[in-house]
Structure 1
Amino acid sequence: MQLEPESMAPVINRIKRAQGQLAGVLRMLEEGRDCEDVVTQLAAVSKALDRAGFAIVATGLQQCIAADGVESLDVKKMEKLFLSLA
């Protein structure tokens, strides 16, 4: 399934923000910042990436249904994608 680039703009923005957050986590580690602060920021990065992944799968599912109809939807493949994010 190919994703439409225009529908991925919010996901791309989310991933870019996560990339910036991850760079911040690296700086925090290099500066010897407090463990709790580092873990909090790392959890935020992880959540942002999880949400981006779910958005990609959900958009792909929506595009599959809209384009091909439910009959052609590979349910096992979509299940595998969802579970890979769990």
Structure 2
Amino acid sequence: MQTEKKECCCCSHKTKERTEKEYKDLLNRLSRIEGQVRGIRKMVETDCYCTDILVQVSAVNAALNSFNKVLLANHIRTCVAEDIREGKDETIDELVTVLQKLMR
């Protein structure tokens, strides 16, 4: 677990403490995705062929989908399961809303 408490700058009210392994895994995935996006930018800047860029964009989309799957699975196993055990049924509505957004 992280040693210092970090404020969430992008969410309205909830935070989540993650294990050190989960934290590192998520950040490593995001770092790889950032690298891929920088690579795509360089491809555009150096006038690479369109289909080569499209293939790389597809790879980034797949990496983001994989990130979402890992994060969603962790969320269900921890936050959702704990809230259901505590009788917080509104968490189910929240999960349904998130799944609907993800499936657009």
TM-score calculated relative to the size of structure 1: 0.82
Moved >4 Å (runs of 4+): none
Q: Please give the residue correspondences for 1:56-75 in structure 2 after superposition, counting only pairs within 5 Å.
A: 56-64=71-79, 65=81, 67-68=82-83, 69=85, 71-73=87-89, 74-75=91-92
1:34 counterpart residue number: 49
SS in 1 for 2:48: coil
Which is higher, the Rg of structure 1 or of structure 2?
2
Unaligned 5+ segments in structure 2 are 1-13
Q: In structure 1, what is the Cα distance between the partners aligned to 2:100 and 2:70?
A: 14
Deviations 1:9-47 (A, max 9, x none): 222211110100000000000000011110000111111
After the TM superposition, which residues 1-86 of structure 1 pair with which residues of structure 2 at under 5 Å, given as runs?
2-6=16-20, 7-64=22-79, 65=81, 67-68=82-83, 69=85, 71-73=87-89, 74-86=91-103
Higher helix share: 1
Does structure 2 conserve the Cα–Cα contact (< 8 Å) formed by 1:50 and 1:85? no
% of aligned pairs identical? 24
User: What is the match of residue 8 of structure 2?
Assistant: none
Answer 1 or 2: higher relative contact order, Cα 8 Å, separation at least 6. 1
Residue range with higher mean Cα deviation, 28-37 or 44-53: 44-53
Question: Could you tell me whether the CA contact under 8 Å between 1:28 and 1:38 is conserved in 2?
Answer: yes
Aligned alpha-carbon RMSD (Å): 1.9
Decide whether aligned partners of structure 1 residues 33 and 11 sit closer, same or farther in structure 2, where only a CA change above 3 A counts: same
Measure the CA separation in 1 of the matches of 2:32 and 2:64: 10
